[in-house]
Amino acid sequence: MASVTLKNIRKIYPNTEKRKKSKDASERPANLQITDEGVVAVQEFNLEIADREFVVLVGPSGCGKSTTLRMVAGLEEISAGELYIGDRLVNDVAPKNRDIAMVFQSYALYPHMTVYENMAFSLKMQKRPKNEIDRKVREAAEILGITDYLRRKPKALSGGQRQRVAIGRAIVRDPQVLLMDEPLSNLDAKMRNQMRAELIKLRSRINTTFLYVTHDQTEAMTLGDRIVVMRDGFIQQIGTPQEVFRHPKNLFVAGFIGVPQMNFFENAELKIINGSYCVQVLGRTVTLSREQQDALHQMKQPETQIVLGIRPEHLRLTQDGIAAQIEVSERMGSEMHLHMTAGDSRVTAVIPTTGMETEILGGGKTVCIDLDPALCHLFYRESGENILQ
Ligand SMILES: Nc1ncnc2c1ncn2[C@@H]1O[C@H](COP(=O)(O)OP(=O)(O)O)[C@@H](O)[C@H]1O
Ligand SMILES: [Mg+2]
């Protein structure tokens, strides 16, 4: 276990370098900065990971997550900046001397070896005593619930079991830092859920610092002590899952975190009426909460054009409010997802339906929705930044 510090880390892939073949066509340097030196895959990356913290890097494909992780692992050269593991500057330390272990999306097990041999391999290479190897392998197998499969070959295992072996192989080495790059992406939805829970358990049983990469916001939200949201090579926001969910710094983070996605009203206005800040949206004027008022007054915010964001679960149906036409309504057990249009905006609402007549919420029906101002997020239309951050 150790802290990990990334100071102003930057990664440039030289233009001349042969591009890594990518199966995923979307993994192109779409909006990455390109300089004379090459493609800037990661820049201005500053992060301090505490000892034993679980930090998740999350963002869409191609935003620089794997590149960052691979720089920490030592598999990718760092173009600029400083990387510390504990107090040690490790920019130029070989991967095997960094005391880290990495788990990949493709389990990368040795097919001709048994589970036991796969897990024992790195310790054998280090010429550790046999009884120590045996103890560590059995301990890891116990933690991961794969003791019964130790004699099997990988091909006789399910995807979830194989990934457990890959994790086992990493943890037998007691690494200071455990790096994981989309370890659950090859699993089906049910197994992914189960493995997510297993990772939470694993985390409480081993004393290691975790740096975990995923494009899946649910994984990020459930696993991370803190999450780092990335886009186009830049960090957008760092915070606990709650912080990022409740106070997204900009439109990108607001739209990326949360399912179903936050609703955005593109044509809203921030107004000052009789000294009070109000939001005008779709012909309706809503006075903001005390807290929002105070913050806006303090920063002397002038009237401005905004994008108003509100999460689907924060919309309420009311007698009078913004008229919305239901296009599709989905029953999801104890709640309904209503997909609606209101003026020129598409709006999704999640409505609890326990003990409620749901016939009135069918497609084609018109309802009224209400905005609780305290739950509204205000973004500058120009920059996309959250006004109240
Ligand atoms: N070896 C490489 N050479 C050139 N460009 C690369 C290389 N590896 C990755 N890239 C580019 O760098 C960007 C970030 O890639 P990556 O870190 O793999 O993103 P992510 O893991 O977030 O999907 C992508 O645009 C990708 O195409
Ligand atoms: Mg990746």
What are the C-alpha distances in Å from 327 to residues 232, 271, 319, 340?
34, 31, 19, 5
Domains of the chain: 4-99+175-255 (3.40.50.300), 260-380 (2.40.50.140)
Q: What is the residue with the minimal CA distance to atom 14 of ligand 1?
A: 64
What are the C-alpha distances in Å from 188 to residues 45, 108, 109, 196, 279?
32, 18, 19, 12, 44
Query: 251: Cβ–Cβ under 8 A, 6 or more apart, which residues?
Result: 264, 307, 309, 379, 384
Pocket test for ligand 1, best of 28, 34, 40, 66 (most atoms within 8 A of CB): 66
For 233-262, how does the pLDDT look when each residue is reduced to its tens digit (9 = 90+)?
999 999 999 999 999 999 999 999 999 999
Measured from the alpha carbon of residue 61, the closest ligand is 1
Report, as an integer, the average pLDDT of 189-218.
Answer: 93
Measured from the alpha carbon of residue 15, the closest ligand is 1
361 C-alpha vs ligand 2 centroid, how far in Å?
41
Query: For residue 141, how far is the Cα from the chain centroid?
Result: 28
For 307-352, how does the pLDDT look when each residue is reduced to its tens digit (9 = 90+)?
999 999 999 999 888 999 999 999 888 899 999 999 989 999 999 8
28 C-alpha vs ligand 2 centroid, how far in Å?
12
Residue 16's pLDDT is 64
Cβ–Cβ under 8 Å, residues 305 and 318: no
Residues facing 80 on adjacent strands: 10
pLDDT beyond 60 at 285: yes
Render 215-281 in DSSP notation, one character per residue.
S-HHHHHHH-SEEEEEETTEEEEEE-HHHHHHS-SBHHHHHHSSSSPPEEEEEEEEEEETTEEEEEE
Model pTM? 0.93
Pocket test for ligand 1, best of 15, 21, 27 (most atoms within 8 A of CB): 27
pLDDT beyond 80 at 25: no
Pocket of ligand 1 (CB under 6 A): 13, 17, 19-20, 27-29, 32, 39, 41, 59, 61-67
Residue 19's pLDDT is 54
Backbone torsions φ then ψ of 345, nearest 5 degrees: -110, 145
Residue 23's pLDDT is 46
For 114-134, how does the pLDDT look when each residue is reduced to its tens digit (9 = 90+)?
999 999 999 999 999 999 999
DSSP 386: B
